[in-house]
Chain A
Amino acid sequence: MKQTIDTAKIQKLELVATTKRYGDTVAVKAINHSFKAGTYSCLLGPSGCGKSSTLRMIAGHEHVSEGDILLGSANITDLPPSARGTAMMFQSYALFPHINVVENVAFSQKMKGVDKAVRAKKAMELLDLVDMVGYADRLPAQLSGGQQQRVALARALITEPSVLLLDEPLSALDPFLRIKMRAELKRLQRELGISFIHVTHSQDEALALADDIIVMNNGLIEQAGAPRDVFNAPKTEFVAKFIGGHNVLKTGPQPLALRADRLMVSRSALPAGEAISGKVLDVEYLGSTVTLSIDAGNEGELVASMSDADFFASPIEIGSTVFLSWKPEDAHELAA
Chain B
Amino acid sequence: MKKKALDPEKRAERVSWALVTPLTLVLGFFLLLPIATIVSVSFWSYNEWSFYPDFNLDNYMFHLTSAVTWATYLKTLKFVVITWIFCAAIGFSVAYFLAFHVQSLPAQIALFLVCTIPFWTSNIIRMISWIPFLGRNGIANSMLQSLGITDEPLDWLLYSDFAVVLAFVHLYALFMVVPIFNTMMRIDKSLIEAARDAGASGLQILTNVIIPLTKPGIMIGSIFVVTLVMGDVITVRHMSGGQSASVGRIISNEISLLQYPAAAASSVVLLCTVLLMIGIMMRFVNIRKEL
Q: Which residues does A use to contact B, with CB under 8 Å? A: 59-61, 80-83, 87-88, 90-92, 94-99, 107-108, 110-112, 155-156, 159
Q: Is B234 an interface residue (CB 8 A)?
A: no
> What is the CA–CA distance of A144 and B188 in the complex, to the nearest angstrom?
18
CB pair A92 B204 closer than 8 Å:
no
- Whether B155 is near chain A, meaning CB under 8 Å from some CB there, is no
The distance from the CB of B5 to the nearest CB of chain A, in whole angstroms, is 43
Interface-centre pick from A61, A83, A96, A99 (highest chain B CB count, 10 A): A96
**Listed A/B pairs (30) with beta-carbon separation below 8 Å:** A59-B197, A61-B193, A81-B197, A82-B196, A82-B197, A82-B198, A88-B193, A88-B197, A91-B190, A92-B188, A94-B188, A94-B190, A94-B191, A94-B193, A94-B194, A96-B195, A96-B208, A96-B209, A97-B191, A97-B213, A107-B195, A107-B200, A107-B208, A108-B198, A108-B200, A110-B208, A111-B198, A156-B197, A159-B198, A159-B199
B212 at the interface (CB under 8 A from A): yes
Distance, CA A57 to CA B204, complexed state (A): 23
Q: In the assembled complex, how far is the CB of residue A62 from the closest CB belonging to chain B, in whole angstroms?
A: 10
Query: Interface range on chain B: under 10, 10 to 19, 20 to 34, or 35 or more?
Result: 10 to 19
Is A90's CB under 8 angstroms from B194's CB? yes
What is the predominant secondary structure among interface residues of chain B facing chain A? helix
Name the residue on A nearest B215 (C-beta): A98
Q: Are the C-beta atoms of A61 and B196 separated by less than 8 Å?
A: yes
Q: 5 closest A-B pairs (Cβ-Cβ)?
A: A82-B199, A108-B198, A94-B194, A94-B190, A111-B200
- Please measure, in the bound complex, the distance between the C-alpha atom of A111 and the C-alpha atom of B197, giving whole angstroms: 11
**B209: nearest residue on chain A (CB-CB)?**
A96
Contact A111 B208 (CB under 8 A): yes
- Which residues does chain A contribute within 8 Å of B201, judged by CB atoms? 111
Minimum CB distance partner of B196 in chain A: A81
Closest beta carbon of chain A to B165's beta carbon, Å: 32
Give CA–CA (A97, B213) in the complex, Å.
8
Taking CB atoms, residues of chain A closer than 8 Å to B190 are 90-92, 94
Q: How many whole Å from B288's CB to the nearest CB in chain A?
A: 14
Chain A contacts for B212, CB-based, 8 A:
98-99
B204 interface neighbour in A60, A87, A111, A159, Cβ under 8 Å: A111
Q: Which B residues touch A60, using CB under 8 A? A: 197
Nearest-Cβ distance from residue B211 to partner chain A, whole angstroms: 10
How far is A69 from B13 in the complex, measured between Cα atoms in Å? 66
Smallest CB–CB gap between B203 and chain A, Å? 11
With a cutoff of 8 Å between Cβ atoms, the chain B residues found around residue A159 in the complex are: 198-199
How far is A97 from B201 in the complex, measured between Cα atoms in Å?
19
Residues in A with CB closer than 8 Å to B208 are 96, 107, 110-111
Q: Which residues of B contact A99 (CB under 8 A)?
A: 212
A112 contacts which of B193, B195, B199 (Cβ < 8 Å)? B199
With A94-B188, A111-B208 in contact, is A155–B193 under 8 Å at CB?
no
Contact of A87 (CB < 8 Å), options: B197, B209, B213: B197
Known: A110-B208, A111-B204, A111-B208. A96 touches B196 (CB 8 A): no
| Complex Cα–Cα for A159 and B197 (A) | 9
> What's the Cα separation between A125 and B30 when bound, in Å?
60
- Give residues 219-236 of B contacting A (CB, 8 Å): none
Of all chain B residues, which has the CB nearest A141? B289
Chain B nearest CB: distance from A60 CB in Å? 8
The interface residues of chain A lying within 8 Å CB-to-CB of B195 are 96, 107, 111
* 14 other A-B residue contacts (CB within 8 Å) besides A60-B197, A61-B193, A61-B197: A81-B199, A82-B200, A88-B194, A92-B188, A92-B190, A96-B191, A96-B194, A96-B209, A107-B208, A108-B200, A110-B208, A111-B195, A111-B200, A111-B208
CB distance from B73 to the nearest CB of A (A): 35
Residue of B nearest to A106 (CB): B198
* Docked pose: A35 CA to B201 CA in angstroms: 29
Q: How far is the CB of B214 from chain A (nearest CB, A)?
A: 10
Query: Given A61-B193, A94-B193, A96-B209, A107–B198 Cβ distance below 8 Å?
Result: yes
Q: Which chain B residues border A91 with CB–CB below 8 Å?
A: 190
- The interface residues of chain B lying within 8 Å CB-to-CB of A80 are 196
Contacts of A95 in B (CB 8 A): 194
Q: How far is the CA of A72 from the CA of B201 in the complex (A)?
A: 26
**CB neighbours of B198 from chain A (8 A):** 82, 107-108, 111, 155, 159
- Measured CB to CB, the nearest residue on chain A to B187 is A97
CA A156 – CA B199 in complex, angstroms? Answer: 11
Q: Which residues of B contact A155 (CB under 8 A)?
A: 194, 198
Q: Which residues of A contact B213 (CB under 8 A)?
A: 97-98
B108 CB, nearest partner CB in chain A, Å: 19
Q: Which B residues lie within 8 Å of A107 (CB)?
A: 195, 198, 200, 208
Contacts of A81 in B (CB 8 A): 193, 196-197, 199
Which residues of A sit under 8 angstroms from B197, Cβ to Cβ? 59-61, 81-82, 87-88, 108, 156
Does the CB pair A111–B193 fall under 8 Å?
no
Give A236 Cβ to nearest chain B Cβ, in Å.
33
Q: Determine the residue in chain B with the shortest Cβ distance to A167.
A: B190
In angstroms, Cα B201 to Cα A245, docked, is: 48
Q: How far is the CA of A110 from the CA of B209 in the complex (A)?
A: 12
